[in-house]
Amino acid sequence: MAAAAAGGDGEAAVMRAEVAALRLRVQELERENQRLGKIAARCTCGSSKDDSAASSPVVSESLSSSKQEPQKNVKSHCRGCQVGVVSHCPKRLIALKIMYFGQRFYGFASEAHTEPTVESEIFKALERAKLLVGSRKESCYSRCGRTDKGVSATGQVISLFLRSNIKDAKLDVLDNKSGDFLARFSCLGREYKYLFWKGDLNISEMQKAALKFIGEHDYRNFCKMDAANVSNYRRHITDFNISAYDQRSNYDELWAITIKGSAFLWHQVRCMVAVLFLIGQGLESPCIVDSLLDITKTPRKPQYKMASEIPLILRSCLFDEVNFMCSSEASQALIEHLKDEYHQYMLQAAIFCEALSCLCSPEPDPFEPRHKKRNHIPLMSRQTEPSYEERIAKVKTKSAGSV
């Protein structure tokens, strides 16, 4: 009987211990439930009230800050549920360097509502990875360059806040404690490269004209004017060089135009290259650059066709004290991928070369000119586009009429 009583007391003690543990677990779950309830209460998902005018949360974390604290006392202003957006998680201001090949994209920016764009694909990937912390405005999103349809980039840069649990204080990344880093406005310079086949172009005359672009000038005659949003058309070009690209085909030699500057206007590079090609063909003199840069003499841009977008590359964007990091595994994977792509395109080129070798070239007619000269209308004799003053007056008239 005594043994039985002792056994019963032991079982009772075990049950009391289990009940106590369950009580503690219930208390922990209640606290967690309260925490999640507070987060849910701050979100206005599904609300019909438009909170778009409300202020965005103030962000004080830096790109190099090792402190990763969740947001506190921040109201979410989302309209409807945003899949892949986790606004209450720790976040970090990140600068991303991006490489893309533009032939299959409708430009970089996604404002035109035409898919696919480079920007839309980036945000789809970030959403799938659940790295987004809010809207583009709330994430302080900024892009360094806005390339056109078909234009490629090897050094495009964007910046935005993303989810992050990095706690390594030894990481060597940008210090931005003031929170004012933006890829667009923090960029000190941009470098573009334009590839072309030399053919019969007069490179010497082209380089003579290219040097006239160096310095600060008004480039309104070398861009697509956006009078509604841009009033200052002065830009500073720091370097403009034309050089051989160390690659040939059986019939021609590849060359490159390298242009460096603090910032560029819409279509500026393609317009400058188009005028250089006219000069290289002997259709215009290098002094045409002086005439077009003189807005007193030439207040209206002559109508001319821009150079093709396909050979244009945004090669790099320059920042002060920014060191981009890439793991050795990711870097090696990208190198291998690019090598495979290069070899595939070289195989295609070899197939075209083989096809050309199977064709018999017709004998040239000694009495026929090698190149038929097309009728060229000098730029200064062509019809012109409206001046900036005429465009802005039209914008103001339209705005007054809509009111």
| Residues with a known catalytic role | 148
Please, which residues have CB within 8 angstroms of residue 32's CB and are 6 or more apart in sequence? Answer: none
Give the bridge partners for 248, in sequence order.
253
Q: Which residue, among 212, 206, 201, 391, has the nearest Cα to 292 in the 3D structure? A: 212
Write out the DSSP string of 138-162: TTT-EES----TT-EEEEEEEEEEE
Residue 71 CB neighbour total at 10 angstroms? 19
Question: In this structure, what is the dihedral angle of CA atoms 226, 227, 230, 232, given to the nearest 10 degrees?
Answer: 120
Peptide bond into 90 cis (omega under 30): no
Distance CA 138, CA 91 (A): 12
Q: How far apart are CA 149 and CA 147, in angstroms?
A: 7
Q: Three-state DSSP class for 6? A: helix
Find, among 288, 280, 289, the residue nearest to 202 by Cα: 280
Are the beta carbons of 167 and 197 closer than 8 angstroms?
no
Contact 304, 385 (CB under 8 A): no
313, 153 Cβ separation under 8 angstroms? yes
DSSP state of 58: P
